[in-house]
């Protein structure tokens, strides 16, 4: 068993503004694993597995964009508190044998540790904690494939760990004793996200439900043409989608929504 259960938040992230662009639904899992990398090994391993169970449940519900992040209180692969062959956790017997690979469930589930991107781009900055003068990485973000595809950049926000207490009785001068990872993402338009935007306008009452099928049909045809390599027909269907959106305004579709749908279709064409 373990304390500090994770918290899960659901966020709808709009690229440009609420109701004016495509969006993604992001699920963020916030963690604070049990402390001390070379103790409570079983607790942290179980916490990592619990995160994987949450990701699997979200995936089964159709959510493909999930981030699991926070203070994991242990090192990323390949670093480990226990050397290969080192015995640990010997009570009760038998002992476990290092390495402990406490975050293994997250890696084995196929999640991407953004620390790998950070250490490749900025190795001198890839740490989040200062322990008696030795920098360590304890704070990470793991992302599913769908979310990782939108990654632009990841950095460590060094405004805590570099300003630790200087002497006995002193206090840390940051907001915390750990530094966060700061990731930037970009949500661009896709056929799937255009479908979702059409459905959003139905849900908000900005598009007549009886007319939504016309827009979905044009996107489906565009996808079919693209799959068959009929590129010009694909682009023509996207243009027809934008024209259809304008034709539905203002009687069946709010003008601002028609403009947004046409603009997103134009953007998708420009990305081809």
User: DSSP letters of 240-255?
Assistant: HHHHHHHHHTTTTB-H
**7-185 in CATH: which number?**
3.60.10
Paired tokens of 227: 């799959």
In the chain, domain spans: 7-185, 191-271
In this predicted model, what pLDDT tens digit does every residue of 22-67 receive, in sequence order? 999 999 999 999 999 999 999 999 999 999 999 999 999 999 899 9
Instruction: Pick left, alpha or beta for residue 196 (phi over 0 → left; psi -120 to 50 → alpha; otherwise beta).
Output: alpha
Q: Is the peptide bond before 71 cis (omega within 30 degrees of 0)?
A: no
Contact 109, 73 (CB under 8 A): no
In this predicted model, what pLDDT tens digit does every residue of 76-131 receive, in sequence order? 999 999 999 999 999 888 999 999 999 999 999 999 999 999 999 999 999 999 88
Q: How far is CA 204 from CA 81, 132, 241, 257, in A?
A: 52, 55, 20, 11
């Amino acid at each position: 068993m373990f304390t500090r259960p994770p918290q899960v938040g659901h966020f709808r992230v709009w690229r440009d503004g609420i109701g004016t662009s495509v969006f993604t639904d992001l699920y963020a899992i916030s963690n604070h694993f049990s402390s001390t990398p070379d103790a409570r090994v079983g607790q942290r391993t179980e916490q990592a597995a619990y995160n994987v169970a949450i990701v699997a449940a979200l995936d089964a519900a159709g959510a493909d964009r999930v981030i699991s992040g926070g203070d994991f209180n242990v090192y990323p692969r390949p670093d480990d508190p226990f050397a290969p062959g080192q015995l640990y956790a010997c009570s009760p017997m038998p002992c476990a044998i290092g390495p402990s690979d406490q975050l293994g469930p997250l890696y084995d589930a196929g999640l991407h540790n953004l620390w790998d991107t950070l250490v490749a781009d900025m190795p001198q900055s890839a740490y989040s904690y200062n322990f008696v003068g030795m920098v360590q990485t304890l704070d990470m973000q793991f992302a599913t494939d769908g979310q990782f595809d939108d990654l632009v950049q990841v950095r460590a926000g060094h405004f805590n760990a570099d300003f630790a207490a200087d002497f006995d009785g002193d206090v840390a001068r940051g907001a915390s004793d750990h530094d966060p990872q700061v990731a930037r993402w970009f949500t661009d338009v896709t056929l799937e996200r255009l479908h979702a935007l059409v459905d959003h306008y139905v849900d908000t009452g900005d598009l007549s439900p009886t007319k939504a099928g016309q827009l979905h049909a044009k996107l489906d045809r565009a996808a079919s043409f693209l799959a068959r390599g009929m590129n010009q027909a694909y682009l023509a269907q996207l243009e027809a989608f934008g024209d259809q959106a304008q034709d539905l305004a203002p009687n069946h579709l709010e003008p601002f929504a028609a403009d947004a749908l046409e603009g997103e279709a134009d953007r998708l064409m420009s990305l081809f």
